[in-house]
Structure 1
Amino acid sequence: MSTSSDTSVQPGTALLQFLSSQRVWVASGLILLVLAVFDTEQAIESTVFASTALIGIAPFLIFSIAIAAYANATGADNLIAKAFVGAPAMMIIMGALAGGLSPFCSCGVIPLVAALLTMGVPLSAVMAFWLASPIMDPSMFFLTSGVLGFEFAVAKTFAAIGLGLFGGTVIHLLSRGGHLSDPLRDGVGNGGCGGAKMRAPKPVVWSFWVEKERRRTFAKVSLDTTLFLAKWLELAFILESLMLAWVPAETVTKALGGSGIGPILTATFVGVPAYLNGYAALPLVSGLIEQGMSLGAGLAFLVAGGVTSIPAAMAVWALAKPRVFALYIGFSLSGAFMAGLFYQLWTIV
């Protein structure tokens, strides 16, 4: 006689798992549903606003998706391994450039950074890459151009690279004094797919369409990126519509408007808890700017929020010791403030 255990998933559990995996779509749907019940006119306005905004940035969205898919299908992200060779100063520069221009997301950076550190790459170069990576990538550049304008996208790119150079240089100076030896937590290895790319980079195949597996990669990344961007941007545009409708312009202008230091400092610290996602934050900042937020404060918000976002910050916390994490947060906030201040000065000159 044999017994068997029921390993099937209960309907209620399956539903909860599904809702959890689709929580961003669910959040958008619930917001519109609640609005439809209590404020039908606003529900219609928010739906039209979000749909119109998505259509408006569609060309930038399509181009950014194509870039992300092409980088993965061709293996162009393997080129990152070539950035970390040479003298320390050159590695810091290349690390900042690679972080600001490479197509890595916050999660994809984790195994790569672990591999770099465990292989003996100086913390200064890794920190430069670490700080710049969450702020900007090719896809983000084109979406930022579509939502906030080309000049703002360029400023954000310079902010990413500048923050990487700033953090990497300070870490280099501290390391020379012996203050940051052994930065990794105990037990952190060099595993992961990102680590493999660093240890044994594969050749780039620019004509990816000649290989079936690479065509599949292109299709999969295109679909995944489309769904990822669509769900976050839909939620962001709905929230932006509500912010424009319910938050008085004079309130935003009073707190974050003007050309002084105060609004930029406020935006730097507000960006830490208020930042949702790199893509979702763009429409929100656009709405705040329309309400009176200064451009410098907008840049400070995006930089501070991007570097201290949960995926980016958790990557540092999981791999590095607390003192390195504290430096990372310090660089993030001070760098965001300086970036916002410099950009504000640029806009009024």
Structure 2
Amino acid sequence: MWMDTFQSFLSIALELTILFVVISFVINFLQAYIPYEKVEKYLGGKNKGIGALFALLFAFVTPFCSCSTIPVVVNMLKKKMPFSIVMIFLFSSPVLDPTIITIMGVVLGWKVTILYTIITAVFSVIIGFALEALGFEKSVKNVVMSGYQENTRKFNVKLALRETIYLMKSVYPFLLLGAAIGAIIHGLVPTNWIASTFGSDNWWIVPIAAIVGIPLYIRLSSMIPISQVLIAKGMALGPVMALMISSAGASLPEVVLLKSIFKKELVIMFVLSVITMSTISGFIFYLI
């Protein structure tokens, strides 16, 4: 049994490693052609609809986890960008990682991935505009956070390779952790138990998964291999996606960082919004 688990880990890890290296290198290389100055101009423009689209685009081309998004959010607030646009970026950046979404497409299927991308993007926009309409802009503190640098470098093959290596150091361990957890679930957890406990008939698992995902702080890169095994074992897609979105969209370290720039009521609303987005998204996948 342990040998089967180890072989499963090697298989999952090898597949994800090849995908991760190739996709990361290509995306880092192509970033040279992204006009960041124009993107920033549209983010702070008067047209909120165009600003929302560019916030999603900016979130997609800046592959950050939930914590590393915060300095960028502070920089956007300092530049007096519209509050709703900043919130759209805050919610969408951790869940719209181009590398991980591509891996998700290969591992979980493109139908699931496209639906995931559309749902998280739409909910990010809805939540961003809703928070502004409800007056939560007043809950932003006046803070200055260092450590953020704008991307002004031109990418080439050497630089893309260097960025890929850097990304591997910061993200790849979580990918391996996910592969290890997935292999253990594959080898040691009974299929019948997962199917009967977390199967399609148990709708109540969806909101529980959404709530549980936040304190776990499982990065999206770790959740992909875990999700693949859970689905293969018989777990319904709804709770898997709810867990994936909530764990990527918010975390305890991020909440602590947000408390330094947001007042308590906005931090609470942020967490509730992530849980709501995860739960409704999970039910959409559940119904499908």
Q: Please classify the TM superposition score into its range, dividing by the shorter chain length.
A: 0.7 to 0.9
Whether 1:241 and 2:197 are equivalent positions in the alignment is: no
Relative to structure 1, the CA distance from residue 288 to residue 77 in structure 2 (aligned partners, 3 Å threshold; closer, same or farther) is farther
Q: Which residue of 179, 186, 193 maps to 2:148?
A: 193
1:267-289 CA-partner distances (Å, limit 9, x unpaired): 21222233422111111111211
Cα RMSD of the aligned pairs, angstroms, is 2.6
CA distance in 2, matches of 1:74, 1:254: 49
Whether 1:82 and 2:62 are equivalent positions in the alignment is: no
Q: For 1:167-316, what aligned pairs fall within 5 Å after superposition?
A: 167-175=127-135, 180-186=136-142, 188-189=143-144, 191-194=146-149, 196=150, 202=152, 205=154, 208-209=155-156, 215-259=157-201, 261-316=203-258
Deviates more, 1:285-294 or 1:106-115: 106-115
Runs of 4+ in structure 1 deviating by more than 6 angstroms, as ranges, are none
Counterpart AA for 2:130? V
1:68-93 CA-partner distances (Å, limit 9, x unpaired): 42256667656541341223344234
Residue 6 of structure 1 corresponds to none
Deviates more, 1:80-89 or 1:320-329: 80-89
Identity of aligned residues (%): 17
Secondary structure at the aligned position of 2:235 is classed as coil
Relative to structure 1, the CA distance from residue 319 to residue 72 in structure 2 (aligned partners, 3 Å threshold; closer, same or farther) is farther
CA distance in 2, matches of 1:134, 1:173: 23
8 Å contact kept, 1:68–1:103: no
Residue 4 of structure 2 corresponds to 45
CA distance in 1, matches of 2:211, 2:269: 16
State the 1:255 CA deviation.
3.4
Residue 15 of structure 1 corresponds to none
CA distance in 1, matches of 2:53, 2:202: 31
Residue 19 of structure 2 corresponds to 60
Structure 2's unaligned 5+ residue stretches are: none
Residue 125 of structure 2 corresponds to 165
Number of equivalences: 286
8 Å contact kept, 1:104–1:137: yes
8 Å contact kept, 2:195–2:234: yes
1:3-36 CA-partner distances (Å, limit 9, x unpaired): xxxxxxxxxxxxxxxxxxxxxxxxxxxxxxxxxx
Higher relative contact order (CA 8 A, sep 6+): 2
Relative to structure 1, the CA distance from residue 340 to residue 307 in structure 2 (aligned partners, 3 Å threshold; closer, same or farther) is same
Q: Which residue of 61, 66, 70 maps to 1:102?
A: 61
Whether 1:321 and 2:276 are equivalent positions in the alignment is: no
1:20-56 CA-partner distances (Å, limit 9, x unpaired): xxxxxxxxxxxxxxxxxxxxx51x3333212111233
8 Å contact kept, 2:39–2:54: no
Normalising by structure 1, we get a TM-score of: 0.73
Counterpart AA for 1:297? P
CA distance in 1, matches of 2:238, 2:128: 23
Work out which of the two has the higher radius of gyration on C-alpha atoms and give 1 or 2: 1
